[in-house]
Structure 1
Amino acid sequence: MIFLSKEDCHLCDVALEAVEQARRKYPFNLEVIKIQQGDEWWERYWDKIPVGLIDGAMIFKYRIEAEELVRKVKNRSQNLTS
């Protein structure tokens, strides 16, 4: 999963904690990227931060709860193995 964040973002801090809680319940790879103006992610996601992406698909923006994220990650992995 890619977690897009930016500097001074309270929602990002809250969402990242939910992501970490989800990883403790259902381990998955995580890459945290802090976007900034001018980078490849900025134009597409600056107004949706925080954003969670799996295989390029947005699975959440703004807010996420740990249990909801676990469900989404499990569903995504089951779809990939079916």
Structure 2
Amino acid sequence: MCSIALLQSIGTHASDFVQTMISNLKLLFDEYVKNSKSTSSSLVGSSNVSDNDPIDSILHQLNVNMADLEGDYDESDDYK
């Protein structure tokens, strides 16, 4: 019975992880679309490439989201 409870617990955590990743991907996509529209509208009537890089913004948001996922994890716990 313990193994069934353990598998259910793992399944729950895996499901939560997948839902979090899907949510983060949606946020990244929405940010990309927003930045793409902003960049394309700033390029209208201009031949210069904008300094706004939507990829940099997306990577920054991904780093912020990944930091949120890590929480208060203390690496020193690994060595006890």
Fold in common (TM above 0.5): no
Name whichever structure is richer in strand by fraction: 1
Bigger Rg, structure 1 or 2 = 2
Normalising by structure 2, report the TM-score. 0.31
Q: Report the TM-score, using the length of structure 1 for normalisation.
A: 0.30
Higher relative contact order at CA 8 Å, sep ≥6: structure 1 or structure 2? 1
Greater share of residues in helix: 2
